[in-house]
Amino acid sequence: MVFKYVSTALLLLASVPPLNGLFPCVKGICKKMDIKKFVCTRDLIWTYNTSSTDYVMCKCDHMKSYRNMTMFFTRSFFVDERWRRSIQNLEGRFSKHRKEVMQVSNKGHQKFYDLRVWDTYLKARPHEKCIKRFEKLTQRGHGIYMPKCKIILRIK
């Protein structure tokens, strides 16, 4: 199985005050975050922006369970302009030595970055600093979340 490192560029939420504990910084030097503290939640996690070139809209992850350094989650997203939904059951493996890394299988080998946001914080767009940092990391990023994306949660 091929694995993809999901790392630093994924989670740029340091400017959201309740999350500051995830991103400890001293004099501008930030420690690497513990990705488990972000993804191991009952809250839905939406992809707000991505650098992926695949057509994907409204990508949303929902954790099902966590055990033995492995998280099992469901990813829902729309795959085309007609908003046909795809659902994937995925497994994320955490590294004991690299807390900022979660490995998720990726058969396409495409390297990309996502700006991810907890559903709780989507009443407004992510902080401008997060968006700017994401844009700095990848020039080809584009938005895939919009308020009407929540319709994906009602489709059976």
Q: Write down the pTM of the prediction.
A: 0.76
The parts of the chain modelled with pLDDT lower than 70 are 1-31, 106-109, 156
CATH superfamily of 3-153: Calycin beta-barrel core domain (2.40.128.20)
What is the pLDDT, as a whole number, of residue 8? 31
Cα dist. 56→7, 31, 35, 76, 146 in Å?
Answer: 20, 31, 23, 10, 12
Q: Where are the domains of the chain?
A: 3-153
- Secondary structure of residue 148 in the 3-state scheme: helix
What is the pLDDT, as a whole number, of residue 119? 94
Could you please report the per-residue DSSP string of 43-102? S-EEEEEE---S--EEEEEEEEEEETTEEEEEEEEE-STT--EEEEEEEEEE-SS-TT-E
What is the pLDDT, as a whole number, of residue 99? 85
What is the pLDDT, as a whole number, of residue 13? 36
What is the pLDDT, as a whole number, of residue 142? 93
What is the pLDDT, as a whole number, of residue 16? 35
What is the pLDDT, as a whole number, of residue 71? 94
